Amino acid sequence: MTDRYAVLGNPIGHSKSPLIHGLFAQATGQDIAYTAIEVPLDGFSETVLAFRAGGGRGLNVTLPFKLQAFEIATDPSERARLAGAANCLKFDGERILADNFDGVGLVNDLQRNLGCPLAGKRVLLLGAGGATRGALLPIAAEGPALIAVANRTASKAHALQRDFAAHAQLQSGGYDDLGGQRFDVVINATSAGLTQETLPLEASVFAPGAVAYDMVYGKGLTPFLQQARAAGVSRVADGVGMLIEQAAEAFAWWRGVRPETRAVIQQLTVPLA
């Protein structure tokens, strides 16, 4: 029998998840059907429960429902709990298991695909929202020399530092607090790439040989990546690899087999120009 999975979001027409999971299923010989479902803004819980009642096995969850995905879970992972958000659900009888694979996807893309090990590196995350929350534990697990979080409102970065104090040692503050510091990996976890907004970032934050990574994907050279290029950074990347790597983690969680990702990344990559 074909097992049913889906991605929930609003809007959802842009989602690459059905294509990605279809390619994974073909490559691994898994018999699944995967669809995209646009959910009414006030209908998330009802949609999840109806999908489960209809025999659905699991769900990916994208904006704006990641917080609600965490709230509906009976068994959230520690990653999901600390992020306060989930991007993947799995059904086991009456139990709803939840996890957050965004940070794992980011780390896998940086280390496996981009050849950027994080151990001993100075890492800067821009933004103190859900994307950063989801990334902190997986990054910390790799043993960087420093993790810094900078946000326009410094108090939000400080709050994040307090929330993760038992799990990771963070430096936190506003963009103005970065003066004189250089970082080996600079990650834009804000929505600036979607709004074409320029961040108040000094060129000096990029260390020689730094990697600049924007979690936004498919937008070419975002303003952040343009800033990095202008600062002399040659190694820039968008979030397409993160998208596909987190999908691979979800697929492995659901199906017990982890698909190869490189060919799918090559297929979906948009040139950074």
CB-neighbour burial class of residue 53 (10 A; exposed 0-12, middle 13-18, buried 19+): exposed
Q: Is the pLDDT of residue 191 over 90?
A: no
Burial category of 110 from C-beta neighbours within 10 Å (exposed 0-12, middle 13-18, buried 19 and up): buried
Q: What per-residue confidence (pLDDT) applies to 28?
A: 98
Q: Say how many CA atoms lie within 13 Å of 91 toward its Cβ.
A: 19
Question: Residue ranges of the domains in the chain?
Answer: 3-100+241-268, 103-238
Residue 176: burial class (beta carbons within 10 Å; 0-12, 13-18, 19+): exposed
Phi, psi at 71, each rounded to 5°: -65, -30
Coil/strand/helix, residue 27: helix
Element (H, E) at 237: strand 235-237
Question: Rounded to whole angstroms, how far apart are CA atoms 190 and 188?
Answer: 6
Are the beta carbons of 244 and 268 closer than 8 angstroms? yes
- Per-residue pLDDT at 218: 87
pLDDT at 193: 75
The single residue of 16, 66, 90, 121 carrying the catalytic annotation is 66
* CB atoms near residue 248 (< 10 Å): 22
CATH superfamily of 3-100+241-268: Leucine Dehydrogenase, chain A, domain 1 (3.40.50.10860)
E strand or H helix at 193 = helix 192-195
CATH class of 103-238: alpha beta
Supply the pTM of this predicted model: 0.95
Q: What is the pLDDT of residues 217-256, one digit of tens each?
A: 988 999 999 999 999 999 999 999 999 999 999 999 999 9
The reply to whether 66 belongs to the active site is yes
* Structure confidence at residue 118 as a pLDDT band (50, 70, 90): very high
CATH fold match for the domains 3-100+241-268 and 103-238? yes
pLDDT for 270 equals 86
Calculate Rg over the CA atoms of the chain: 18
Give the model's pLDDT for residue 1. 86
Q: Across residues 2-15, what is the average pLDDT? A: 96
Q: What average pLDDT is seen over the chain?
A: 96
pLDDT higher than 90, residue 272: no
Which percentage of the chain shows pLDDT scores above 70? 100
